[in-house]
Each structure stands twice: as structure tokens, then as C-alpha cells.
């Protein structure tokens, strides 16, 4: 028994030492072309990462690699990719409702108190799968499908616990103004667009009243805590944005009107018909996370266009792409290939790459850490053996926080 206990302590110490070594990992990434997304691409470039952060970047001729440092080489190097909206970690690889689908709770149409961090599974195999394509950061959480389905979070695609993966604990409150949030059947609510808007508006007004009660209450006589209202107060205080999935121009217009009425930060999600309201979206100063471009064209998204990201960007509207969520398989797509479609439909290579790197990071408020290869930012990089947007190319290496987390070509 004593011998077993001694071995247990020894293994624990070794594991701790290994984690400490990983935390101070040092690696250099070298590519024939390095797209920094902070300027022009570097030919024969080098990215030096020490203690999890980028410490040097430039051409191989002017950027020395410290002696003894691990070097990973490839044809093309990009920043670690940022999936601007996913359900990965709540959605699982098996697409089995009873087994690994935790992204949508249908017991109530209004549930802003649900937290993605309480449902995120860092050991889900789907995380490993998308990471293998170069995706190092995901904005993930509860899926569209209820009026307010819950909160989202931002995580790195590594880590043994959600805390270890965490970048942003509460990134947005996810709402839906689309057909998927409408209930069917006699007496079901909300069953119409008018009802959806009325329910949302009433909830936000009650949140305003809740805030006033808290502010005006005498010490010790505050009203009982309400997690839903607490979350919505943070939205009304512009502390966190509301991300609203709306596809039809009519619903997008309603969303813009609601955001103006309550003065909350808005991120438009999906936005299949956003090309019909470019002037209105630009005037509102609202960013757009466009649906996966390979989405099935039916229902609310039947009028989608492959050129939407290019048109939004040309108008000066911040735009990003996503892996998204669908009720049927595949529930999750790969953001890398969605950007490739954008590159074939009006965007340049770097513009399309921006929708899954620096532009996505800016919309999510994390561009100080990820989205581009710059000194001081997190040591996240993806390495490819050819053009990342070519289906025949492979991601041959992935580095997150200076650690090589994948080196199997995919």
C-alpha cells in the first residue's frame, strides 16, 4: 500500500513537471510563405515562440532561431485559425442526441442564464478533429433554435479542463430571430415573428426594471437574485454583446431595430439576406458573422449568396465566417473550407483568410491575443503543405500557446 502511494506521488510530480515544461515550451515555425495578417506575407519566414508568446517574426535571413529550439517547417504558415461561431464542445463528433448533443435546451424559449462553460467538454473528439485543420480558437456555445438559447464562450482547442482552455468566460448571449425559434402547434409560443419580438422586448424591459430595483434597494433588502435578468442586465449595460441569428431581411431589420431601441451591442449571425440591407447594417455599425457558405439552401437561408462576405467587406462592414450549426448532419462544418468558398466568390486569398483569423478576432474582441502573427501575441500557428484553401493540401502542424498540439497531416 505504501509502495503504491509512493508511485502515485511520483507520477503526480512527473506530470506537474511535464506541464511546467509545456508552459515554457519553445518552438520556431518556418514557412516558405508566412501570412502574418498584420501586413504583407513574408517569403521564407520564421516565427519564434517562447513561453507561449511570439517573440520574433521576420525573414529567415534576419530572424535567428535560438540554439536548440524545436523547428517546424511547412510550405505555408498562417495564424491559428479562429472559428467565429461554433457549437463544438457542446456538439459532439457522433451526432447522437442522447450521446453528445448538449448545445440546445428546448424546455424554455428564454434561457439567458445557461452558460456554455457548464456544458463544454474539452475532451470531445470533435475538438481534436477541427484543430487538425488549423483551428486554434473557437467561439462556441448554445446553438440557434430558441429565442435566447444561452451564453457563449471563447476557448482554445486544447486544455484538460474548460478553465485551461478558457479565453473569454461569457462572450455573448445567443438569441434567434428565425424560423428555427418559432414553435408549431396550437397554443405554442412564440409562434410568430410578432410574438418573438414582443417576448424579447418584454424580457429586456423587465431586465431594466430588475436593474433599477437592485440599484434603488436598501442594503439587505435587495430583490432575490435572478440569473436570467443578471445576464440581460450585462447586455443592457453593453458589457457583453447579444449575438442574434437572423437570416431573412425582415428579421435582420427587426434585430437592428431592437438593438437601437435598447442600445445594446449587437453581432449579426447567419444573415443570409444581409446583402439586401448593406446600407442599414453599415449605418448601425454592426459586425456580421456570416453562415457557413456551404449551408443547405432551404427555409430561411434559401436566398443566400456565396458573394455575401465579399459584398459586406467591400461596404466596410466587419465580417467573419464560421463553422456554424445545423439541426441535421453535418451539425458542424470546418471554417477553413468555408473561407475557401469565399475566396472563390469575390474575396482575395488574404481577405478570405482574414474572415477566419484577424477579422474574426476583432469582432470577438480578442485581437490583442490571436488572429495575427505579431510579437507579444499568443503563440498560435497553423502549418500547411500547400495552399490552405486547396482541398488536396494538408494541415501538417498546429501550435497553440507555443505547444505543438498536432503534427499529423490532415
CA distance 312 to 266: 16
Spell out the domains of the chain, with CATH numbers in brackets. Answer: 20-78+371-410 (2.30.40.10), 81-370 (3.20.20.140)
Would you say the C-alpha torsion 36, 39, 41, 47 has a positive or negative sign?
negative
Model pLDDT, residue 13: 40
CA distance 122 to 143: 17
CA distance 274 to 410: 34
Q: In angstroms, what CA-CA distances link 181 with 104, 203, 232, 321?
A: 11, 16, 19, 22
Model pLDDT, residue 99: 61
C-alpha cell at 277: 440591407
Nearest to 291 by CA among 305, 276, 277: 305
Q: In angstroms, what CA-CA distances link 49 with 55, 113, 164, 304, 402?
A: 6, 38, 19, 41, 6
CB 169 within 8 A of CB 114: no
Backbone angles phi, psi at 116, to 5 degrees: -60, -35
Model pLDDT, residue 216: 93
CA distance 377 to 50: 11
Q: In angstroms, what CA-CA distances link 56 with 59, 236, 398?
A: 10, 41, 18
CA distance 279 to 298: 25
* Cα of 205 vs its chain's centroid, Å: 29
Backbone angles phi, psi at 375, to 5 degrees: -60, 130
Q: In angstroms, what CA-CA distances link 71 with 49, 61, 66, 109?
A: 10, 15, 10, 51
Model pLDDT, residue 219: 86
Name the β-bridge partners of 173. Answer: 151, 242
C-alpha cell at 373: 502573427
- Enter the pTM of the model: 0.92
3-state secondary structure string across the chain = CHHHHHHHHHHHHHHHHHHHHHHCCEEEEEEEEECCCCCCCEEEEEEEEECCEEEEEEECCCCCCCCCCEEEEEEEEEECEEEEEECECCECCCCCHHHHECCCCCCCCECCCCCHHHCCCCCCHHHHHHHCCCEEEEEEECCCCCCEEEEEEEEECCCCCHHHHEEECCCCEEEECCHHHCCCCCCCCCCCHHHHHHHHHHHHHHHHHHHHHHHHCCCCCCCCCCHHHHHHHHHHCCCCCEEEEECCHHHHHHHHHHHHHHCCCEEEEECCCHHHCHHHHHHHCCCEEECCCCCCCCHHHCCCCCCHHHHHHHCCCCEECCCCCCCCCCCCCCHHHHHHHHHCCCCCHHHHHHCCCHHHHHHHCCCCCCCCCCCCCECCEEEECCCCCCCCCCEEEEEECCEEEECCCC
Model pLDDT, residue 95: 67
End-to-end CA distance of the chain: give it in Å, rounded.
45
pLDDT in 10s for each residue of the chain, 410 residues: 444 444 444 434 444 344 444 445 699 999 999 999 999 999 999 999 999 999 999 999 999 999 999 999 999 999 999 999 999 999 888 766 666 787 888 888 999 999 999 999 999 999 999 999 999 999 999 989 899 999 999 999 999 999 999 999 999 999 999 988 888 777 788 989 999 999 999 999 999 999 999 999 988 888 899 999 999 999 999 999 999 999 999 999 999 999 999 999 999 999 999 999 999 999 999 999 999 999 999 999 999 999 999 999 999 999 999 999 887 767 789 999 999 999 999 999 999 999 999 999 999 999 999 999 999 999 999 999 999 999 999 999 999 999 999 888 87
**What is the CA angle 183-88-370, rounded to 5?**
125
Amino acid at each position: 500500500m505504501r509502495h503504491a502511494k509512493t508511485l502515485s506521488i511520483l507520477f503526480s510530480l512527473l506530470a506537474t513537471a511535464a506541464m511546467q515544461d509545456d508552459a515554457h515550451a519553445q518552438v520556431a515555425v518556418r514557412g516558405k510563405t508566412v501570412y502574418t495578417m498584420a501586413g504583407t506575407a513574408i517569403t521564407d519566414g520564421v516565427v519564434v515562440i517562447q513561453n507561449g508568446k511570439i517573440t520574433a517574426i521576420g525573414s529567415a535571413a534576419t530572424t535567428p532561431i535560438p540554439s536548440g529550439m524545436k523547428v517546424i517547417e511547412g510550405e505555408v504558415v498562417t495564424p491559428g485559425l479562429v472559428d467565429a461561431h461554433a457549437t463544438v464542445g457542446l456538439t459532439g463528433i457522433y451526432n447522437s442526441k442522447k450521446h453528445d448533443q448538449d448545445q440546445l435546451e428546448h424546455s424554455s424559449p428564454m434561457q439567458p442564464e445557461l452558460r456554455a462553460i457548464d456544458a463544454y467538454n474539452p475532451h470531445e473528439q470533435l475538438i481534436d478533429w477541427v484543430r487538425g485543420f488549423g483551428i486554434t480558437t473557437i467561439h462556441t456555445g448554445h446553438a440557434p433554435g430558441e429565442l435566447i438559447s444561452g451564453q457563449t464562450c471563447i476557448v482554445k482547442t486544447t486544455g484538460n479542463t474548460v478553465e485551461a482552455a478558457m479565453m473569454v468566460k461569457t462572450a455573448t448571449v445567443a438569441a434567434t430571430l428565425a424560423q428555427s425559434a418559432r414553435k408549431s402547434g396550437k397554443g405554442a409560443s412564440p409562434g410568430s415573428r410578432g410574438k418573438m419580438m414582443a417576448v424579447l422586448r418584454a424580457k429586456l424591459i423587465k431586465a431594466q426594471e430588475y436593474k433599477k430595483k437592485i440599484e434603488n434597494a436598501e442594503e439587505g433588502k435587495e430583490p432575490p437574485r435572478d440569473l436570467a435578468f443578471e445576464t440581460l442586465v450585462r447586455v443592457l449595460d453593453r458589457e457583453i454583446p447579444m449575438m442574434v441569428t437572423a437570416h431573412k431581411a425582415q428579421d435582420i431589420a427587426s434585430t437592428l431595430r431592437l438593438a437601437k431601441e435598447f442600445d445594446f451591442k449587437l453581432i449579426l449571425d447567419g444573415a443570409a439576406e444581409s446583402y439586401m440591407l448593406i446600407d442599414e447594417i453599415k449605418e448601425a455599425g454592426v459586425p456580421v458573422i456570416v453562415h457557413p457558405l456551404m449551408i443547405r439552401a432551404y427555409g430561411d437561408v434559401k436566398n443566400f449568396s456565396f458573394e455575401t462576405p465579399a459584398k459586406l467587406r467591400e461596404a466596410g462592414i466587419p465580417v467573419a465566417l464560421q463553422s456554424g450549426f445545423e439541426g441535421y448532419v453535418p451539425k458542424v462544418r470546418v471554417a477553413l473550407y468555408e473561407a475557401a468558398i469565399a475566396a472563390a466568390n469575390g474575396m482575395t486569398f488574404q481577405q478570405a483568410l482574414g474572415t477566419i483569423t484577424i477579422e474574426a478576432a476583432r469582432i470577438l474582441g480578442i485581437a490583442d491575443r490571436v488572429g495575427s502573427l505579431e510579437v507579444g501575441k499568443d503563440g498560435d500557428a497553423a502549418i500547411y503543405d500547400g495552399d490552405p484553401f486547396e482541398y488536396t493540401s494538408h494541415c501538417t502542424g498546429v501550435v497553440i500557446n507555443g505547444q505543438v498540439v498536432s503534427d499529423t497531416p490532415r
